[in-house]
Amino acid sequence: MSLELVPPSRLGHLLPGEGSAGRGALARTPGRTLAGERNGLVTRSEILTGEKKPAFRAVESWPLDRETPFFVDWLTISQEHPEKGLPVVDSGCVMACDDAGELVWKTVRAVQHQGSFETSISVKCDGVRVTLSGNLSRFGRAENLFGFGFAECIARANEVLAHYGLPPFTAGQRIEYAAKKGKDVRYAWTGARVSRIDLTANYEAGSADDAHAVMQYLGTQHAGRHEGRVLGQGETVAWGGGKGARSYWKAYLKHLELRRHECADERVAAHCEAVGLVRFEGTVRTKALTDMGAAFLGDYERGFAMQQLVHLFNDKSAVLTRAEKATDDLDELPRHLRATARDYLAGMDTRKTLSQATWYRHRNELLKYGLDLAVRNVRPFTPRVRVVELRRAERPSWYQLAA
């Protein structure tokens, strides 16, 4: 691959601005190692033990055939071809004109390339610039409980481009150029550029109840500077996001998401519920990708970009690290009885806190569990510790990864 030292004026759209590729990159921090895969323990007191077990160590490069702690879902990627003359692929355009009828701006609408199971990938080309965007692990499949790595997603993207007679995404040439003040040498690639990538991993809590306990714990945790936000009925916890966000991360209960979207294979949803599958995924956008040197396809092929993404993912997934929370046997009670039982075990007179009808009803129900509200409690109440261990999910032998 040839290198050419050229002035900035010749690079045009390829020039990264502030926050260029490699600037502020994680790999530039001396002594940093990858946080790696962690076993997450969830109990009920929110005391972090800090125990960490790295599964991936820092390396100088991360080739595309090396296993990563995540697979790729969504990918937005584009490439310009200065030679022009490519087939025009669009579904019309949207434009705006001023009062004099002069064109102010114009944008091409993408074609929705349809796959099976009501999936699609958006593709467009104006004769020079080719853009593809979509969930490449989900495309043509009933679901994407387990997906593909980056290299496989690029291969699937190129298959879609070939359908329209468009050239595949390539790395192009690496071009070095002098910075404005001439002190630094920066670079750009003439090939494809990634502007969004979604990184995803699955973890097993052991059961649906334990998975819910995990979500309760995560709702109290920060991921970096971002506080966890509990969404829905507690089945999703999110960090970051918002307008202009560089990245967005979330964890959610996969079996509920599959059933909400009427998954075609109930066996998959049932498996997720049985093992308490917690999905952790993040969306990394163009500015973050540029700053860490993970925007150009060429940097993926030379092993630098993937190393950066692995480091980022392990850093963000540290929220799933080991923790401890105290729990008690009252968690086995029906939800509407737990508060009454706790008040009773704490020595409170439940006749004063409940209406007469509710007191008698709760007394009759709690008798089945060995608690009699009519007899004053004199036993000390000692909570026990229940530990939920998050472990990396393994793909079932019956699960088909191919589309």
Task: Write phi, then psi, for 69 (nearest 5 degrees).
Answer: -80, 10
Q: Which residues pair with 106 in a beta bridge?
A: 95
Give 182's pLDDT tier (boundaries 50, 70, 90). low
| Residue of 227, 223, 214 whose CA lies nearest to 325 | 214
Q: How would you classify the pairing of strands 174-178 and 4-6? A: parallel
Backbone angles phi, psi at 176, to 5 degrees: -95, 145
pLDDT at 181: 67
Where are the chain's structural domains? 4-200+245-252+278-325, 330-380
- Asked if 235 and 253 touch (Cβ cutoff 8 Å), the reply is yes
Q: Which of 64-68, 120-124, 245-249 has the highest mean pLDDT?
A: 120-124
For residue 344, the model assigns a pLDDT of 84
Report pLDDT for 369: 74
Per residue in 270-325, pLDDT (tens digit) is 999 999 999 999 999 999 999 999 999 999 999 999 999 999 999 898 888 644 44
Q: Is the pLDDT of residue 23 over 50?
A: no
pLDDT: which is higher, 255 or 59: 255
Indicate if the pLDDT at residue 5 is higher than 80: no
> What is the reported pLDDT for 38?
33
In terms of Cβ atoms closer than 10 Å to its own Cβ (0-12, 13-18, 19+), residue 243 is: exposed
Condensed to tens digits (0 to 9), the pLDDT of residues 323-364 reads: 444 455 676 788 888 889 888 887 788 998 999 999 999 999
Please write the tens of the pLDDT for every residue from 195-251.
999 999 999 999 998 898 888 888 877 766 677 788 887 889 999 877 778 899 999
